[in-house]
Amino acid sequence: HEADAFRTDLMTITRFVLNEQSKHPESRGDFSILLSNIVLGCKFVCSAVNKVILFPPNQLHSVFFYKRQVWQNSLDLQGRRMCRQGEEQKKLDVLSNEVFVKALVSSGRTSILVSEEDEEAIFVEKSKRGKYCVVFDPLDGSSNIDCGVSIGTIFGIYMIKDGHDACIEDVLQPGKEMLAAGYCMYGSSCTLVLSTGSGVNGFTLDPSLGEFILTHPDIKTPKKGKIYSVNEGNAKNWDGPTAKYVERCKYPTDGSPAKSLRYIGSMVADVHRTLLYGGIFLYPADKKSPDGKLRVLYEVFPMSFLMEQAGGQSFTGKERSLDLVPKKIHERSPIFMGSYDDVEEIKALYAAEG
Ligand code: AHM
Ligand code: MG
């Protein structure tokens, strides 16, 4: 239809955020400046992921490296010219982290950064400080890089409310205190999904424009889904309620059809599908990892924030995920998230267990 074929009114992510901001006259544009720096990081990582060269397994390093020089000079998939001495090699996740940290610090709008890649929180030097704290996983799902499966960046934003000097407690806040959260998925297209606390919107990078354009306005997760998503290889170590729930997905007792299983092993991609198609994504606790695998601050919280904003739910096995109060920046938590009705079911199983 004409409107789609000749789209002339381009709602870029910058325009969208400025529109939102105009509803808050007290805001001085700080948030859009911060976001444009996050967007820059996402564009960089997207471009790096697309330019990446696969080193043949066992021959060099079985990981992707981003090598601007080599890419510009050579398309040699054997990687021989990539080994010249003196060439700088960086793993893509390390490089992505550096890009995000530098972009966020230079925005002049942040005070504390927590990244999956850095053991300690980064306190921005005083002259460059601003009122926001950003928690992020610059390149999640890195075990999938070698084979070109979708990976992503996840971020959450807190605000220092009363202007006090930034301290670690500013990021050890429950997820419900986040001001905004989002992720960028580097997949068949590059999609950025964002919530500033009033719904969820998705933007797709138009590479020819270099702009994220609003393509998925007001995302709502179906109330009930037909898909479950979990690493079933861990089943022998699951607790009772998780095992029972997954059994019910396959052998429903209420006459409903069995659910389909989809599991990519990249949280951004698995959650993106769950957000759009509905269903449930779970990374439960098990006997070997009593806190599950996923990290509270930059994986569980941002994704739970988005899921709730899209009408779904997120549960830790004990409580609403966004109510959890983290004690350490790299803390982990089990997570069950997705369509409202599907999460209700797992909540009931945990409640029955007491
Ligand atoms: P990573 O931070 O080492 O990349 O691990 C996080 C990833 C998530 O993207 C994904 O949901 C999960 O690990 C998959 O774990 P598993 O391989 O145990 O199923
Ligand atoms: Mg991760």
Give CA–CA dist 49/56, Å, rounded. Answer: 17
Point out the ligand nearest to the CA of residue 144.
1
Q: What is the H or E stretch that residue 115 is in?
A: strand 110-115
Q: Which atom belonging to ligand 1 lies closest to the Cα atom of 231?
A: 19
Mutate to test the pocket of ligand 1, among 143, 154, 186, 289 (most ligand atoms within 8 A of CB): 143
Confidence class for position 3, pLDDT limits 50, 70, 90: low
Q: Are 141 and 92 in contact (CB under 8 A)?
A: no
Confidence class for position 85, pLDDT limits 50, 70, 90: very low
Residue 75 reports pLDDT greater than 70 = no
pLDDT of residue 89: 55
Segment among 1-5, 47-51, 55-59, 350-354 with least mean pLDDT: 55-59
Rg (CA), the chain: 21
pLDDT of residue 354: 76
Q: Are 16 and 36 in contact (CB under 8 A)?
A: no
* β-strands 260-261, 227-229 pairing: parallel
ipTM value for the complex: 0.97
The per-residue pLDDT for range 110-158, each reduced to its tens digit, is 999 999 999 999 999 999 999 999 999 999 998 887 778 899 999 999 9
Q: What is the mean pLDDT of residues 69-80?
A: 40
Confidence class for position 27, pLDDT limits 50, 70, 90: confident
pLDDT of residue 72: 39
Give CA–CA dist 327/110, Å, rounded. Answer: 21
pLDDT of residue 91: 79
Q: What is the DSSP string of 130-176?
A: EEEEEEEEEEETGGGGGGT--EEEEEEEEE--S-PPP-GGGTSS-GG
Of 53, 32, 35, nearest to 43 by C-alpha is 35
Q: Are 304 and 322 in contact (CB under 8 A)?
A: yes
For ion ligand 2, residues whose CB falls within 5 Å: 137, 140
Q: What is the H or E stretch that residue 39 is in?
A: helix 30-51
Q: Give buried/exposed letters for 34-48 (b at 16+ CB in 10 A, else e).
A: bbebbbbbbbbbbbb
Confidence class for position 169, pLDDT limits 50, 70, 90: very high
Name the residue with the closest Cα to ligand 1, atom 1: 141
HEC sequence for 85-107: CCCCCCEHHHHHHHHHHHHHHHC
